[in-house]
Amino acid sequence: MDLFQLLSAELGPARVLRDELALERFAVDESGLPRFPPECAVLAESRAEIELVLRLAQEHRIAVTPRGAGTGMTGGALPVRGGIVLSTERMVRIREIDAENLIAVVEPGVTTGALQAEVEAAGLFYPPDPASLESCSLGGNVAENAGGPRAFKYGTTRDYVLGLEVVRMGGETLQLGRRTPKGVVGYDLVALMVGSEGTLAVATEIVLKLLPKPRAVATLLATFRDLLTAGAAVGTLVGRGHRPRALELLDRVTLEHLRGRTPYRFPDGAGAALLCELDGDPEGMEAQLLRCAESCEQSGAIEIQIAEDERRRRELWETRRRANPTLKALHRRKIPEDIVVPRAAIPEMLRRVDAVATQANLPCATYGHAGDGNLHINLLIDEPDSPELEARIERALDATMRATLELGGTLAGEHGVGLLKQRYLPWEQAPPVIQLQRQLKRLLDPEDLLNPGKIFP
Ligand code: MLT
Ligand code: ZN
């Protein structure tokens, strides 16, 4: 029997997919990269099954690519060497919500939105909110160290993972971390696993820190005539001591794409917008929101709209979250960047992005988590493919990355390196740092079978 027949005999053919049509959805993700079909997809339902797959795959020297919900933006879940896609989409149990100790224990296939709904019903709060929260999985969030708008005040996934149960290639299970808010025993292997893009081990259980749910939320949208003014308003607002939970920037191109296609209608003629949301206690919330509005006005906002009720607030966020899917649907190709620069460098970065796009003669949509200096810069391609176009795209990406590093930034804020950014890893990190990471990878997966071909060029 070959490996796939063995797995089929153990788990049943309904959970070991071999059919070309059934495998189609495992060949793609949200990165826009070409298709990489696996030879087999396993829909695991337990830790024991993940141990079995990783043990047998090691024995047969077959590559395994772990996959959450397939919403990754850099190709992290694409099986570039074929082999097995190991999906955790059926591991959807919330095992525990403990209000006294403020933790949740979940299986990796639970969607972020499902956990949030459950903990909020219990008066608790899980802050990380990637735009794809209704479909992305917590296992994927852990693999990529997902962020989102609320990372500005609350941090990213890594700040909420207290403990992990993981299985490494070969099938050995490791219990990492803890269930308590504090703990300094040994190296922080949980922090190492979070953001390792599924290259070191597969998470089978996640212990997450929760917070009490904020009692009040208030949201405003400030529109500006142009992007640079809006970009400069970010630093001013933060410099004055305000700490909204989210501070999102959208450029004219993004606003134009969203207009008429999403629940919220941005004011006509807006050249850029800042979406600002505060949370905390109801007392003083309105006064705080007005101070943020005032700061935006003094920075040149031409209009301020305050979300008057929960429905309007939801519409605004639904509209913001539609940026990526809308741009993707309206263009033949969309090449997403995810850079971060120090907040004070946002206006200069925006200036450079504009110059790069003009020089490349390519339309570009920029939006993102401006409070964190994290900008999603998207080249929009409708021209037919040609070597000349590819060279132009590469020059534009290179120039964007160079500008980011010159301004003291980093090349990926929340989407990881995956396949898309490998070329740039040595631009940011020195050879000994890359070498050390390769050694860590080899220690856990000596034959490079777990999610091979990712991160490292
Ligand atoms: C977002 O912020 O909308 C997500 O990170 C996806 C994207 O890059 O658009
Ligand atoms: Zn984002």
pLDDT digits 0-9 by tens, 397-409: 999 999 999 999 9
CB atoms within 10 A of CB 318: 13
Q: Please check the confidence at residue 372 and state whether its pLDDT lies above 90.
A: yes
Query: Which two tokens mark 176?
Result: 């990492």
Separation between Cα atoms, residue 401 and residue 407, nearest integer Å: 10
**Whole-number Å distance between alpha carbons of 36 and 357:** 30
Per-residue pLDDT, averaged over 291-306, amounts to 97
CB-ligand 1 contact for 229 (6 Å cutoff): no
Instruction: For the chain, give the secondary structure using H, E and C.
Output: CCHHHHHHHHHCHHHEECCHHHHHHHHCCCCCCCCCCCCEEEECCCHHHHHHHHHHHHHHCCCEEEECCCCCCCCCCCCCCCCEEEECCCCCCEEEEECCCCEEEECCCCEHHHHHHHHHHCCEECCCCCCCCCCCEHHHHHHHCCCCCCHHHHCCHHHHEEEEEEECCCCCEEEEECCCCCCCCCCCHHHHHCCCCCCCCEEEEEEEECEECCCEEEEEEEEECCHHHHHHHHHHHHHCCCCCCEEEEEEHHHHHHHCCCCCCCCCCCCCEEEEEEEEECCCCHHHHHHHHHHHHHHCCCCEEEECCCHHHHHHHHHHHHCHHHHHHHHCCEEEECEEECCHHHHHHHHHHHHHHHHHHCCCEEEEEEHHHCEEEEEEEECCCCCHHHHHHHHHHHHHHHHHHHHCCCECECCCCCCCCCHHHHHHHCCHHHHHHHHHHHHHHCCCCCECCCCCCC
Q: Which domains are seen in the chain, by residue range?
A: 3-87 (3.30.43.10), 94-212 (3.30.465.10), 216-324 (3.30.70.2190)
Minimum-distance ligand 1 atom for the alpha carbon of 147: 5
Each residue of 95-106: pLDDT tens digit? 999 999 999 999
Q: Write down the pLDDT at residue 28.
A: 98
Average pLDDT for residues 71-100, to the nearest whole number? 98
74 CA → ligand 1 middle, Å = 12
Instruction: Calculate mean pLDDT across residues 70-93.
Output: 98
Q: Name the residue with the closest Cα to ligand 1, atom 7.
A: 324
Residue nearest to ligand 1 atom 1, measured at CA: 131
**Ligand 1 in contact with 378 (CB < 6 A)?**
no
Residue identifier of the C-alpha nearest atom 4 of ligand 1: 131
- Report pLDDT for 267: 87
- Does 250 sit in the ligand 1 pocket, CB within 6 Å? no
According to the model, what pLDDT value does residue 1 have?
Answer: 82
Q: Give me ligand 2 centre to Cα 353, in Å.
A: 18
Q: What is the pLDDT of residues 332-359, one digit of tens each?
A: 999 999 999 999 999 999 999 999 999 9
In angstroms, the CA 27 to CA 38 distance is 7
Ligand lying nearest the CA atom of residue 319: 1
Q: Taking residues 112-120, what's their average pLDDT? A: 98
Pocket lining: 73 vs ligand 1, CB cutoff 6 Å = yes
Residue of minimum CA distance from atom 9 in ligand 1: 324
What pLDDT is attached to residue 97? 98
> Is pLDDT above 90 for 286?
yes
What average pLDDT does the structure give for the chain? Answer: 97
CA–centroid distance, 374 to ligand 2, in Å, is: 8
Q: Is 324 in the pocket of ligand 1 (CB under 6 A)?
A: yes
Q: Is the pLDDT of residue 268 over 90?
A: no
pLDDT tier at 269, thresholds 50, 70, 90: confident
User: Average pLDDT of 281-308?
Assistant: 97
Would you say the CB of residue 323 lies under 6 angstroms from ligand 1? Answer: yes
Q: What angle do CA 28, 315, 132 make, to 5 degrees?
A: 20
Residues 166-194: what's their mean pLDDT?
A: 98
Ligand 1 pocket test, candidate residues 31, 73, 319, 374, most atoms within 8 A of CB: 73
**Predicted pLDDT of residue 15:** 98
Average pLDDT over residues 98-120: 98
Answer whether 336 contacts ligand 1 (Cβ < 6 A): yes
Decide: 376 in ligand 1 pocket, CB within 6 A: yes
- Per-residue pLDDT at 191 exceeds 90: yes
150 pLDDT higher than 90: yes
Question: Residue 33's pLDDT band (boundaries 50, 70, 90)?
Answer: very high
Test site for ligand 1: of 324, 379, 411, most ligand atoms within 8 A of the Cβ: 324
- The mean pLDDT value for 37-51 works out to 98
**For 115-129, 187-201, 260-274, 280-294, which range has the lowest pLDDT when averaged over its residues?**
260-274
Q: Whose CA is nearest to atom 8 of ligand 1?
A: 376
Tell me the mean pLDDT in the region 39-64: 98
Q: Residue 66 above 90 pLDDT?
A: yes
- pLDDT the model gives residue 251: 98
**Is 66 a pocket residue for ligand 1 (Cβ < 6 Å)?**
no
Atom of ligand 1 nearest to the CA of 148: 2
In the prediction, which pLDDT does 259 show? Answer: 94
